[in-house]
Amino acid sequence: MNEITIQSPFDMHIHLRDTEMLKLVAPLTSHTFAGGVIMPNLVPPVETKEAVVAYKNRILEAINNDDFIPFMTLFFKPYTNEFLENVKDEIIAIKLYPAGITTNSEGGISVIDTVALAPTLNAMSNLNIPLCVHGETNGFVMDREKEFMSVYEALAVAFPKLKIIMEHITTKEAVDLVKKYDNLFATITLQHLIITLDDVVGGMLKPHLFCKPIAKRPEDRDALLEIALSGNSKIMFGSDSAPHPKHKKEACGCAAGVFTSPIALQVLVELFEKNDKLENLDNFISKNAIDIYGLKKSKKSIKLIKKDFVVPAQYEGFGEVVVPMYAGETISWSLKE
């Protein structure tokens, strides 16, 4: 196959940041995706209806006239039923962060207790507002996601009508768990389908592959790849594309995040083609998200051709510089302009 058309591609977990960085990176997503679930961990976090609407307007301004829907989220905290009823039409989900576990999550939840959180989670369940979760503990870094599985189970059992999205899963244990409960779903990033921890720190440190959750073992990567390639209806693409200024990545105290937005579709086509599973690509980047979240299929389509593309060494503008995954390397698919 030398050409492929992707109808209505969605990125169900993405960071667009704000201010000048937003202006640089938002068009790099809106150019190739029909919509994306926007993370709310700004400074300060997005916690009010007014903040949701204002952030959405800044995104729409940044992408100019691109055909792209920003699906907005709230930063989880205890909310009243009245508040949620009022904000429901402006959001697609609410994102729960364990306190301090990742970028700008200091205002997250310190103890995820099903009883203490029940008023908010029951209201979300009744209003059909999904819960997105960054599923990590504060334990040893390689075990953080595995240790969080009991929390996911407790939430799934206590709130059986609540749609729970296990965000950017990275382990075989998470793959096994998502199959176990009807109300559990998951997103998987591009980088976790491809790399292991060895790619990040096995030789010279590669800061632009460092992210949280950290890449895991080969058996974890293989389990993620298998379920994504299968077209399983509970699995969606969520890039977790997380741009940081170049000087904050190539530094002591390297910021966590891999920037994949400009090349995500091309590399996914390459990956599914390599594994003879192109027939399941639509499930992973469109159909499953539509079914899980109740979205409308977009009329937007993206054409790609089998032609080598050299990934830019960096993207810059508005005083910001960001380095993408595969910077300076050649991938086998290109966007057809």
The domain that holds 179 is classified in CATH as 3.20.20.140
Mean pLDDT of 99-113: 90
Q: What is the model's pLDDT at position 336?
A: 93
Mean pLDDT of 180-203: 98
Q: Mark residue 128 as left, alpha or beta (left: phi above 0; alpha: psi -120 to 50; beta: remaining).
A: left
Q: Which domain holds residue 167?
A: 11-259
Query: For residue 1, is pLDDT > 90?
Result: no
Q: What is the model's pLDDT at position 40?
A: 97
Half-sphere exposure of 119 (CA within 13 A, CB side): 8
Query: For residue 168, is pLDDT > 90?
Result: yes
Output the average pLDDT for the chain. Answer: 97
Q: What is the model's pLDDT at position 104?
A: 87
Mean pLDDT of 250-262: 97
Residue 295 belongs to a domain: no
Query: For residue 158, is pLDDT > 90?
Result: yes
**Given pLDDT bands bounded at 50, 70 and 90, which one contains residue 203?**
very high
Residue 80 belongs to a domain: yes
Q: What is the model's pLDDT at position 209?
A: 98
Residue 1 belongs to a domain: no
Distance between CA 39 and CA 118 in Å, rounded?
Answer: 23
Q: What is the model's pLDDT at position 101?
A: 86
Query: For residue 126, is pLDDT > 80?
Result: yes
Q: What share of the chain in percent tops pLDDT 90?
A: 97
Residue 189 belongs to a domain: yes
Query: For residue 160, is pLDDT > 90?
Result: yes
Six token digits for residue 238: 């969520």
Looking at the structure of the chain, the number of domains it has is 1
Three-state DSSP string of 264-328: HHHHHHHHHHHCCCHHHHHHHHHHHHHHHHCCCCCCCEEEEECCCEECCCCEEECCEEECCCCCC
- Please report where in the chains the tokens 């993405």 appear, as a residue: 14
Residue 206 belongs to a domain: yes
- Please report where in the chains the tokens 């990742």 appear, as a residue: 102
Q: Is 240 a catalytic residue?
A: yes
**Given pLDDT bands bounded at 50, 70 and 90, which one contains residue 166?**
very high
Any alpha helices (H) in 16-91, and if so which ranges?
Answer: 19-30, 49-62, 81-87
Residue 71 belongs to a domain: yes
Query: For residue 103, is pLDDT > 90?
Result: no
Mean pLDDT of 244-259: 97
Mean pLDDT of 256-274: 98
Query: For residue 213, is pLDDT > 90?
Result: yes
Residue 182 belongs to a domain: yes
Residue 162 belongs to a domain: yes
For the stretch 221-243, pLDDT in tens is 999 999 999 999 999 999 999 99
The active-site residue out of 11, 182, 198, 240 is: 240
Q: What is the model's pLDDT at position 210?
A: 98
**Given pLDDT bands bounded at 50, 70 and 90, which one contains residue 137?**
very high
For the stretch 296-315, pLDDT in tens is 999 999 999 999 999 999 99
Distance between CA 191 and CA 215 in Å, rounded?
Answer: 8
Q: What is the model's pLDDT at position 337?
A: 77
Query: For residue 102, is pLDDT > 90?
Result: no
Q: Which residue has the higher pLDDT, 103 or 213?
A: 213
